[in-house]
Amino acid sequence: PVGIMRIMAAILTCMCFSLAGAAGDGSSSYWAWCMFTWCFCFFFTFLIVILEFTTVNSKVPFAWDDFTTAFAMLASLMCLIVSIIYPTFFTCKICHRAIGASVVSWVCFATYAGEVVLTRLYPRGETRGFLSTLPGIMKMLETFIACLIFVSLDRSQYTGNSGLQWCVAVYSLCFIFSIIIILLTLAQLTSYLPISFDMVVIVYNILAAVMYTTAMVIWPLYSFSNNKQRPPNCGHFCPWDKLVVVTFMTIFNFIVYTLDTMYSIRLVFFIMNR
């Protein structure tokens, strides 16, 4: 059943970016994010199917089940967000291709969610790895929310404003270090570090939570200093709406980093040292 779902997901994501590409409207960063999501999911799903069909997956230098489970979780989350964003901004009553892409995207989300349920309820073996654990899921969520922030950013919003530039630096630095942590754990290189990797992650999570605290205060303070209310002529791609999206995504990521910090401290100091 998992293999059938992966083949269906590959076909559905291919249909999504084909329909959306035929519908057009590539001038928006949200459209580019939707296309990236479908292409990203198609590429890795197709790659997983090929590697498992040729049994090459047994020779990869990382935990394969951990990787595939984590990817299914990430793909289901990405497809869920895209299934909300795309019909909100790019569909109309006569946009048949866009409507088709929206419907297929929801089916694609259901397929990936079904794969997550199957792999978590009926695992083929003991899943050992970082990405399928709660800290790994939170790390993926942190990077995913940061991607949504980057998609909503416009250079004209923060150019010449040191406060907003600090916020962009916070988003970028935290994103880069989260990606590094994910790659180190996926490649199983943490044991080669000269210091405790768990302590490094705890220190990083604390710093990231503090940095996001400053961004959570500074971004809305500087962004809405002159425009506290939505302009009356604001359309779908209004810069004011993007400022609101960045504000809420900053709050969500602060919450995730705080929970990640609390869980990491509890795991290292109260559970592993028993």
- Taking a C-beta distance cutoff of 8 angstroms, is the pair 32, 148 a contact? no
What does the block give as tokens for 10?
Answer: 């590959």
| Predicted confidence (pLDDT) at residue 266 exceeds the cutoff of 90 | no
Tens-digit pLDDT profile for residues 135-182: 888 999 999 999 999 998 888 878 888 889 999 999 999 999 999 988
Q: 228: pLDDT confidence band, cut at 50, 70 and 90? A: low
What proportion of the chain, given as a percentage, has pLDDT over 70? Answer: 92
| 7 pLDDT higher than 90 | yes
DSSP label of 26: T
Q: Virtual CA dihedral for 263, 266, 271, 274, nearest 10 degrees?
A: 170
187-190 long-range contacts, CB within 8 A, separation 24+: 187/61, 187/62, 188/61, 188/62, 188/63
pLDDT bucket at 197, cuts 50 / 70 / 90: confident
Q: What is the pLDDT of residue 64?
A: 82
Q: Are 136 and 178 in contact (CB under 8 A)?
A: no
pLDDT given at position 123: 58
Tell me: pLDDT of 213 over 90.
yes
Give CA–CA dist 192/144, Å, rounded.
27
CA distance 211 to 170: 6
What tens digit of pLDDT does each residue of 88-122 get? Answer: 888 878 888 889 999 999 999 999 999 888 887 65
Mean pLDDT of 216-228: 84
| pLDDT attached to residue 121 | 65
Under the banding of pLDDT at 50, 70 and 90, the label for residue 41 is very high
Contact 253, 212 (CB under 8 A): yes
Mean pLDDT of 218-239: 76
Which tokens in the block code for residue 123? 């695992």
Which is more confident, 25 or 3?
3
Task: State the average pLDDT for the chain.
Answer: 86
What's the mean pLDDT in 258-269?
Answer: 86
Dihedral of alpha carbons 185, 187, 189, 169, sign: negative
Q: 89 or 18: whose pLDDT is higher?
A: 18
Q: How far is CA 137 from the centre of its chain?
A: 10
